[in-house]
Chain A
Amino acid sequence: MLLKRLKEQFGTLLLLAIGLFFVIGALSFLDPGTPRRMGPGAFPMIAGLVLVALACIALVRDLRQAADYTPADWRSVGAVAVAVALFAIVTPSFGVLPAAGACAFAASFAVGRLSHQRRAALVAGAIAGVWLIFIVGLKLPLEAFKGF
């Protein structure tokens, strides 16, 4: 029961953890300085403490009533994440245009059912679009193809 309640509070717990990370980091590695000459650690510590305090308040308040949250749609999340990651992986070895194609291909799995023709059209369109906009149109110094 408590575990389920805590699962509902994952977002708040995440913020609490981030706040603690910054407070602990500031306290252990950064100089807080004096009120007159505040060091690099002072401001992150203050902001972190405020976040930690507010996260605790939110936690106490929300634990009393069941909090509503939206369950994650892992298919869309995964496809979009893989798409962005593929772009970053393909670009250094093959150039921007193959990366754009790979990115569009992976991202197309985020949108649900799609016929093969449409998927092919999407990938071709993405490559052509990137070529037209970024390389022909804006003349950005990007490497279109690499290692061919």
Chain B
Amino acid sequence: MLDNLALGFATATTLPNLLYCFLGTFLGTFIGVLPGLGPLAAVAMLLPVSFYLPPETALVMLAGVYYGAEYGGSIASILLNIPGTPSSSITCLDGYPMARQGRAGVALLMTALASFFGGVFGILVMAGLAPVLAEFALLLQPADYFAVMLLGLVAASVVSNSGTLRGVMMVCLGVLLGTVGVDVNSGVTRFTGGVQDLRDGVGLVVVAMGLFGVSEAMTSARGATPSYATEKVSWRRFLPQADEWLRALAPALRGSLIGSFFGTLPGTGQTVASSIAYALEKRVSPNRAQFGKGAIEGVVVPESANNAAAQTAFIPTLTLGIPGSTTMALMIGALMIHGVTPGPRLISEHPALFWGLIVSFLFGNLFLLVLNIPLIGIWVRLLQIPHYFLYPAVVVLISIGVYSIDHNLFDVWTMLAFGFLGYVLRLYRYEPAPLLIGFILGPMMEEYLRRAMLLSRGDPMVFFERPGSAVLIGISIVLLVLTALPRRKQKA
């Protein structure tokens, strides 16, 4: 363990890695602060850049972008009541009231500290748990992998705001879109209509940028420039009262625990972690009457949960090769491009990459703390960019970003098509997020399903005979039934 950490330190502290870690957290925060652009967009935009870096550096930078954007999202939540990222929407509940009471500085400082706390907690969990899980993962068979992914898909559809039925439909649509292209087992092309550019399927970044970038610009371009709730954020106003320090400690710990747990589940991610942590804290906190009116715990809990989950999401991603969230799927893409296959053997085959990444998370979180407390004024000014400059700029950025991945204009046209699809689906209350999870996990699921069926000689009972997959499929079914049933009991 110590040897490993020493190796990690050696990798993370080389000058280029430190530099790119800093650059990543900085750019991530920058993009995360802008309303409507989250970690997914941030990582997707910087993905092409990382192709030109060595694998460790590329991952360190992209990871920095990822948790930087998570952090940046909370700044917009507190100051404008507009979540910069979906997962920081919970922070609005108490952060914005605090800002209106003139305590924006306190809220921002506590957010930075809680994020740091949660992040470090998540890193420790990851350093302890990932190697163990990787050992264990070697025992898993295709049926178990299939069941893990099924649970991930169910979790993603259950938590979507538009209800379980719609969530599952979007997952199915994503799975179907994922089948476009050459079938790896038989070499047959599927659903390409003879178009050569579709032989390798549709790129993940193309789908993600279309569904989130283009359709977001179509939806929000006309919105008004948000107006400020706060006066100037000044230094004196940063320090919380003495008793608030103590009050924040237990919530931070609870938030980190919950966040670490949900981060490791594939398909759920930070939004679920922060909302569940907030809901729970609202029940157990001695200060619950203040929740929603600017309680400091209400800022600390979701932020610590959110950042802990951001770190632990790397656990299934790196040890099982199953992305913990949509952003993690892009990370897997980045790894694959560098010839590193995520899976149980990653830690033993690429120890420098794995441990270097973990140690760089520590530095990255430190950078975030350093970056955010003195530079808060810059981020605040960034929020004042009028929307009539912001959205056209976003459209230009995503167009050129998608084009620069493969220098293929077909990708730009496909992205536009997905933008339309995402826009229309949004109008009819279908959320695009589960679609993306289905699109990512679908091809892997098919692969494992076929392998499992081959191993069992065509007997589908294999999924219920292996204890691991039986339990996971059981949980998925219970989740589906519980959330899909009409809620008659609540009315009575």
Contact = CB atoms under 8 A, between A and B. Distances in A.
A70 B426 CA distance: 8
A80 B217 contact: yes
Nearest to A70: B427
B457 A36 contact: yes
A22 B395 contact: no
Interface stretch (B94-102, B134-142, B413-421): B413-421
A84 B191 contact: no
A111 B393 CA distance: 11
A87 B389 contact: no
Contacts of B389: 118, 122, 125
Q: Taking chain B's interface residues, is the majority helix, strand, or loop, or is none over half, making it mixed? A: helix
Interface in A114-133: 114, 118, 122, 125-126, 129-130
Nearest to B398: A84
Interface in A97-139: 99-100, 103-104, 107-108, 110-112, 114, 118, 122, 125-126, 129-130, 134, 138-139
B173 A51 contact: yes
Most B CB contacts (10 A, CB to CB) among A47, A48, A57 go to A47
Given A11-B428, A58-B169, A107 B392 contact: yes
B403 A87 contact: yes
A50 interface: yes
Interface stretch (B118-126, B180-188, B240-248, B329-337): B180-188
A108 B392 CA distance: 6
Interface in B161-196: 165-166, 168-169, 172-173, 175-176, 179, 183, 185-186, 188, 190-191
Given A40-B190, A51-B176, A77-B423, A130 B396 contact: yes
Contact of A38 (B48, B172, B415, B450): B450
Contacts of B449: 38, 43
Contacts of B457: 36
A71 interface: yes
Interface residues of A, number: 76
Contacts, number: 216
A15 B169 contact: yes
Given A30-B188, A30-B190, A80-B395, A69 B428 contact: yes
A39 B460 CA distance: 16
A54 B172 CA distance: 10
B396 A87 contact: yes
Contacts of A27: none
Interface string B393-427: 10110011001100101001101100110011111
Contacts of A11: 424-425, 427-430
B381 interface: no
B165 A111 contact: no
Contacts of B458: 34-37
Nearest to B220: A76
Contacts of B415: 84
Contact of B393 (A25, A44, A129): A129
B454 A100 contact: no
A138 B52 CA distance: 9
Contacts of A91: 403, 409
A111 B449 CA distance: 47
A118 B214 contact: no
Most B CB contacts (10 A, CB to CB) among A37, A68, A85, A142 go to A37
Given A100-B396, A103-B399, A130-B400, A44 B190 contact: yes
Given A71-B427, A81-B419, A111 B221 contact: yes
B397 to A, nearest CB: 8
B231 interface: no
B403 A19 contact: no
A25 B191 contact: yes
Interface size class of B (residues with CB under 8 A): 35 or more
Contact of B453 (A38, A51, A114, A125): A38
A55 B176 CA distance: 14
Given A36-B458, A114-B388, A54 B416 contact: no
Most A CB contacts (10 A, CB to CB) among B48, B176, B185, B217 go to B176
B362 interface: no
Interface string B423-458: 111111110000000000010011001100110011
A99 B404 CA distance: 13
A99 B400 CA distance: 9
Interface in A1-22: 9-12, 14-15, 18-19, 22
B173 A18 contact: yes
Contact of B165 (A30, A57, A114, A126): A57
B222 interface: yes
Nearest to B451: A38
A45 B415 CA distance: 25
Interface string B452-477: 01100111100000000000000000
Given A36-B457, A91-B409, A112-B388, 5 more contacts: A14-B425, A51-B176, A81-B218, A111-B387, A111-B391
Interface of B: 48-49, 52, 165-166, 168-169, 172-173, 175-176, 179, 183, 185-186, 188, 190-191, 214, 217-219, 221-222, 387-389, 391-393, 395-396, 399-400, 403-404, 407, 409, 412-413, 415-416, 419-420, 423-430, 442, 445-446, 449-450, 453-454, 457-460
25 contacts: A12-B428, A26-B190, A38-B453, A43-B446, A47-B172, A51-B176, A69-B427, A70-B426, A72-B427, A73-B218, A76-B222, A77-B423, A80-B395, A83-B399, A84-B419, A88-B416, A92-B409, A99-B400, A100-B400, A107-B217, A108-B392, A110-B217, A126-B392, A129-B393, A138-B49
A-B CB proximity, top 8 nearest: A11-B428, A36-B458, A35-B458, A107-B392, A51-B172, A40-B183, A110-B221, A111-B388
